[in-house]
């Protein structure tokens, strides 16, 4: 495994962006390509709590969830090399963008509200913030939330067009940035 790793590479790569932009899907492929460990903070939180995020929201509410995801971000033991998929809202709370930029590199997977909505329309059940929005109202909800969140996501080391993004392309972007 180690000979596959990018020598002096970025160490930890945090993938950030709105729900549905592909952090989990691409993260797995990128980790595999680079020979890095793959970690998904939403999955770590669910395993730790023994319930889904939707169940956690229903039981404890969003404020408790935000505190818990902060603990998960900061208390997880990361290996030397890892691709870490984050929760969609995580970069926008507390000092998380600063923390991730200090502990590794961040990549913002950027997509339009329309594309995000088309990916998420049939996957809303596991995403408590989206459940009550449908069709055009889902696009509008995402557009408004994205406007709120964009200033945080945009502080990423690399901003990548999610439409054409592949693991190969991310690797290339990392090399171009010499990180
Ligand atoms: N490049 C892609 N092209 C088309 N569909 C994709 C692509 N990447 C992911 N998807 C699909 O979009 C949906 C959401 O992907 P994924 O779960 O990886 O997003 P996420 O960013 O991890 O979302 P969340 O923040 O909610 O965890 C899934 O159905 C996935 O198959
Ligand atoms: O965008 C968000 O606020 C969220 C995204 C998901 O990854 C989960 O972390 C949760 O559903 C909240
Ligand atoms: Mg995910």
For residue 165, the ligand 1 atom closest to its alpha carbon is 1
Report the pLDDT value the prediction gives residue 177, as an integer from 0 to 100: 65
**Is 82 a member of any domain?**
yes
Q: Ligand 3 mean position to 69 CA, how many Å?
A: 13
Rounded distance from Cα 11 to ligand 2 centre (Å): 24
Q: Decide: 20 and 89 in contact? Cβ < 8 Å.
A: no
Cα 94 to Cα 26, 56, 67, 152, distances in angstroms:
25, 20, 9, 11
The pLDDT score that the predictor gives to residue 175 is 80
Give the residue numbers of the binding site for ATP.
20-25, 127
Q: Is 127 helix (H, G, I), strand (E, B) or coil?
A: coil
Residue 30 in any domain: the answer is yes
Residue 112 sits in a domain whose CATH number is: 3.40.50.300
Any ligand 2 atom below 6 A from CB of 120: no
74 falls within a domain: yes
Residue 49 lies in a domain: yes
What range does the domain containing 38 cover?
Answer: 21-176
Phi-psi region of 15 (alpha: psi -120 to 50; beta: other; left: phi over 0): beta
Q: Could you tell me the distance, in angstroms and rounded to a whole number, from the CA of residue 85 to the centre of ligand 1?
A: 11
From the first residue on, what is the mean pLDDT of each consecutive set of 10 residues in the chain (179 residues)?
50 96 97 94 98 97 98 95 97 98 96 98 94 96 98 96 95 76
Q: For residue 11, tell me if it sits in a domain.
A: no
d(CA 100, CA 120): 26
Domain-embedded: residue 5: no
Domain count of the fold of the chain: 1
The pTM (predicted TM-score) of the whole model is 0.95
State the DSSP H helix or E strand holding residue 76, giving kind and residue range, or none if neither. Answer: none
Is the residue at 3 inside a domain?
no
pLDDT score for 3: 42
Question: Which residues fall in the annotated binding site?
Answer: 20-25, 42, 66, 88, 127, 149
Cβ(19) – ligand 2 distance below 6 Å? yes
Closest residue CA from atom 31 of ligand 1: 25
Kindly state whether residue 78 falls inside one of the protein's structural domains: yes
Atom of ligand 1 nearest to the CA of 15: 21
Could you report the per-residue pLDDT of 84-98, keeping only the tens digit for each?
999 999 999 999 999
Give the ipTM.
0.98
């Amino acid at each position: 495994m180690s000979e596959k790793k990018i020598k002096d590479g970025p160490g930890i790569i945090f993938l950030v962006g709105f729900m549905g932009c592909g952090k989990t899907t691409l993260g797995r492929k990128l980790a595999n390509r680079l020979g890095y460990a793959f970690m998904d903070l939403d999955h770590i939180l669910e395993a730790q709590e023994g319930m889904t995020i939707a169940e956690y929201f229903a039981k404890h509410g969003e404020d408790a969830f935000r505190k818990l995801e902060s603990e998960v971000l900061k208390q997880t033991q990361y290996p030397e090399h890892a691709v870490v998929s984050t929760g969609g809202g995580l970069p926008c709370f507390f000092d998380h963008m600063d923390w991730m930029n200090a502990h590794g590199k961040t990549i913002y997977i950027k997509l339009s509200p329309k594309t995000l909505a088309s990916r998420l329309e049939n996957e809303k059940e596991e995403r408590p913030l989206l459940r009550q929005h449908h069709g055009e109202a889902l696009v509008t909800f995402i557009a408004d939330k994205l406007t709120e969140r964009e200033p945080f996501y945009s502080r990423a080391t690399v901003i990548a067009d999610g439409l054409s993004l592949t693991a190969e392309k991310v690797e290339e972007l990392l090399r171009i940035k010499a990180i």
